[in-house]
Amino acid sequence: MNGKLYIVATPIGNLDDITYRAVKVLNEVDLIAAEDTRHTLKLLNHLKISKPLISYYKETEKVKAKIIIDKIKMGKNIAVVSDAGTPGISDPGEEVIKVAIEEEIEVIPIPGACAAINSLICSGLDTKQFMFVGFLSAKSKEKRDKLNEIKNEQSTLIFYEAPHKIEDTLKCMLEILGDRRISIGREITKIHEEFIRGTISEIIARIEPRGEMVIIVEGAEKSQNDIDRENRNDMTLEEHYKFYENQGLDKKEIIKRIAKDRKVQKNEIYKKFMT
């Protein structure tokens, strides 16, 4: 019978953030696949857990995923951990999870710390809808292309960033996204934890390049086009038709625009006016 694959979140700074369930699972599995075995060994020593470890890091993910899955097929239960936080979130984990699902192996999350989510919830920005972007490329062109690609995104944006790149990244954001409100979650769960909130330009003026950081950026404002479209969708279909008819448009164009506004097929609108 197949064993199980456990995806275990570990602390991002404060060791007290390990969960009871994570400790139980790490004690019970046959093997722990770790991003950096030396790093995980420190955590296991702290928890007084002794387990065989194998390394599983980004560059070897494909090969190691196969080895892990073969062992699970032989009945072994395996836990995947990264250096800190939730595996698979800008950390190794994704590959072995995909292969496990293909092989119909049970994948069990053991929830815990994640820098992105904890920065978001204390940012004071909108949490209803958000986009996790993770690390931007170190290459200037790719970094700028990505920011241009997402500049109209209305969801709150979440970025991971290294301290030595923070200033350049904030300057690129200011230029491409505009002077939006942001919140930087720094050294979360550690002694010097802080949340630095303000506009991008204010924060560029006072940020010091130290500590682990997550940048939370306010989403783009709705364009006038979006607002107008939403208002049109509050109209009845007849009012919506009249709205475009008054602009002198022909029937074909009116139906096309109504369908676009309401994000439905043209045929659907066409049928409504034929019945």
212 contributes a contact to ligand SAM by CB under 6 A: yes
Q: Is 11 in the site for ligand SAM (CB under 6 A)?
A: no
Task: Give the shortest CB-114-to-ligand SAM separation in angstroms.
Answer: 4
Q: Is 5 in the site for ligand SAM (CB under 6 A)?
A: no
Closer of 3 and 13 to ligand SAM (Cβ): 13
Does residue 217 touch ligand SAM according to CB under 6 A? Answer: no
Residue closest to ligand SAM, measured at CB: 85
**Number of Cβ atoms within 10 Å of the Cβ of 73:** 14
Of 41, 34, 78, 79, nearest to 57 by C-alpha is 34
Interacting residues of 14 by C-beta distance below 8 A, sequence separation 6+: 189, 190
Rank residues 85 and 219 by Cβ distance to ligand SAM and give the closer one.
85
Q: What six digits make up the tokens of 129?
A: 């809808």
Strands, sheet with 5-8, edge to edge from the N-terminal-most edge strand: 53-55, 31-34, 78-81, 5-8, 107-110
Cβ-contact 17, 112 below 8 angstroms: yes
Q: Which of 160, 219, 240, 241 contacts ligand SAM by CB under 6 A?
A: 160
Q: How far apart are CA 154 and CA 104, in angstroms?
A: 37
Q: Is 57 helix (H, G, I), strand (E, B) or coil?
A: coil
Question: Taking CB under 6 A as the rule, does residue 13 contact ligand SAM?
Answer: yes
84 near ligand SAM, judged by CB under 6 A: yes
Q: How far is the CB of 30 from ligand SAM (least distance, A)?
A: 24
Q: How far apart are CA 170 and CA 179, in angstroms?
A: 10
Does 115 sit near ligand SAM (CB under 6 A)? yes
Contact 208, 141 (CB under 8 A): no
Interface of this chain with ligand SAM, residues 22 to 81, rule: CB under 6 A: none
Q: Which of 183, 185, 254, 258 binds ligand SAM (CB under 6 A)?
A: 185
Residues that bind ligand SAM (CB under 6 A): 12-13, 82, 84-86, 89-91, 114-116, 160-162, 185-190, 212-214
